[in-house]
Amino acid sequence: MEEFVIEGGIPLRGEVTPSGNKNAALPLLAACLLTEEPVILHNLPQIRDVLAMRKLIESLGAVVEDLGANTWRITTKELIASHLDPDLCRRIRASILIAGPVLARAGGVHLPPPGGDVIGRRRLDTHILALRALGAEVKYDRVFEITSNGLHGADMLLDEASVTATENAVMAAVLAKGETKIRNAASEPHVQEVCNFLNILGAKIEGIGSNTLHITGVSRLNGGEFTIGPDLLEVVSYIGAAVVTHGNIRIHNAGVQHLEMVRQVFHRLGVQWQVEGSDLIVPAEQPLVIASDLDGAVPEIKTNVWPAFPTDLTSIAITVATQAAGSVLFHDWMFSGRMYFTDKLVGMGARIILCDPYRVLIQGPTQLYSEKLESPDIRAGMALLLAALAAKGTSKIRNIVQIERGYERVDEKLRSLGAKIERATE
């Protein structure tokens, strides 16, 4: 098993370019199954989750050709009726995204339950309710048997603004007969990318970027070409790495138009950055003082659906908060296991009280010290990597496969910024 060995306390300096958005790449690859014509995707991140999705769509008949380091051509002339590999589906949460496109094009799918990060219960009910509204019949006995004699448009209100359920519903609806309205739809940038991509292929989706999508079904989709935008979670991770090491970095093509809420939250932690065109610059000098509420109360940073502060950035923001002066409460009501990684930060010297599975109170700043760590999931693993970069001494992080599920060449990029991080075998 490989591990990272990190010598902490070295300010990061230089320039970095984020990879393509993982959370857009996965549904886009699934969406390629909707057409028999070739589709070219640019800026695909070469990470474990994306490679797992490639194997999944290949097992269904897709032919994937490498046209360059981060460009693939996907052609699915005919879907193969096959039983997907349960072990492969368990590797990634995004395997559930196979349901919508295969159901729409082939009329049925035999789908093992998805896997992914262990961060608490992650219900699939919204997916099933949406597909049933479009005319699907769903049975479950350790695997999902989803069939349809023909999908039809529907007016549906999602019981939660689930990103992947919205994407599944959209992918199924674009080939359904008639009109579909999806209310309480997720509207994250990567959901918008999926909708824009489908429109390039000939779908008719309106209301993109809002929480109500209007879809007019079409009989078939064409081929097309699309470039995936930057991964905003990676951008913010590098902002955090610069801040906790008192470094100065420039992030190219940072997707700054989507970072306004993140900027507000990080500003409350005493973090500032500048924008030059599409680039984001993190200066070495940071206030790093937590701003209290107007009445002097301890501020609460609470996650919510887009455009609010995203749950996937909670772990990164917590690590940054350990280096800021003052108290702050983080509240992530979405996932009951998100906060458990904070015991590892406590072991490094952070002052953190785990109030309950959803809330932690942080008092900073504290000097972090090196530790032997293990990555529990993608985002917590990256947060621990940031903590190791800030800590005194040399830390080791095991189970780095979790981090590499979501971050492309993270050790190489950090070394380019001056970090002392090496890959070793235990």
Where in the sequence numbering do the catalytic residues fall?
A: 117
Strand bridging mode 179-183 / 155-157: parallel
**Is the dihedral angle over the CA atoms 163, 38, 109, 405 positive or is it negative?**
negative
DSSP 278-307: TEEEE-S----BPPPPTTSPPPEEE--STT
Residue type, 346: V
Buried b (16+ CB within 10 A) or exposed e, 46-77: ebbbbebbbebbeebbbebeeeeebebbbbbe
Strand bridging mode 212-216 / 204-206: antiparallel
**Inter-residue contact 230 to 20 (CB < 8 Å):** yes
H-assigned helices in 221-298: 232-244, 260-268
Pairwise CA distance, residues 282 & 272, whole Å: 7
Q: Give the DSSP H/E element, type plus range, for residue 108.
A: strand 108-111
Residue 271 Cα distances to 26, 79, 138, 236, angstroms:
31, 49, 48, 11
| Residue 104, both tokens | 């729409």
Pairwise CA distance, residues 139 & 131, whole Å: 12
| Residue 165, both tokens | 């359920």
**Is the dihedral angle over the CA atoms 47, 53, 57, 59 positive or is it negative?**
positive
Residue 87 CB-density burial (10 A; 0-12 exposed, 13-18 middle, 19+ buried):
exposed
Buried b (16+ CB within 10 A) or exposed e, 293-329: eeeeeebebbbebbeebbbbbbbbbbbbbbbbebbbb
Residue 252 Cα distances to 18, 221, 265, 351, angstroms:
7, 34, 21, 34
Strand bridging mode 71-75 / 63-68: antiparallel
DSSP 41-63: EES----HHHHHHHHHHHHTT-E
Residue type, 173: A
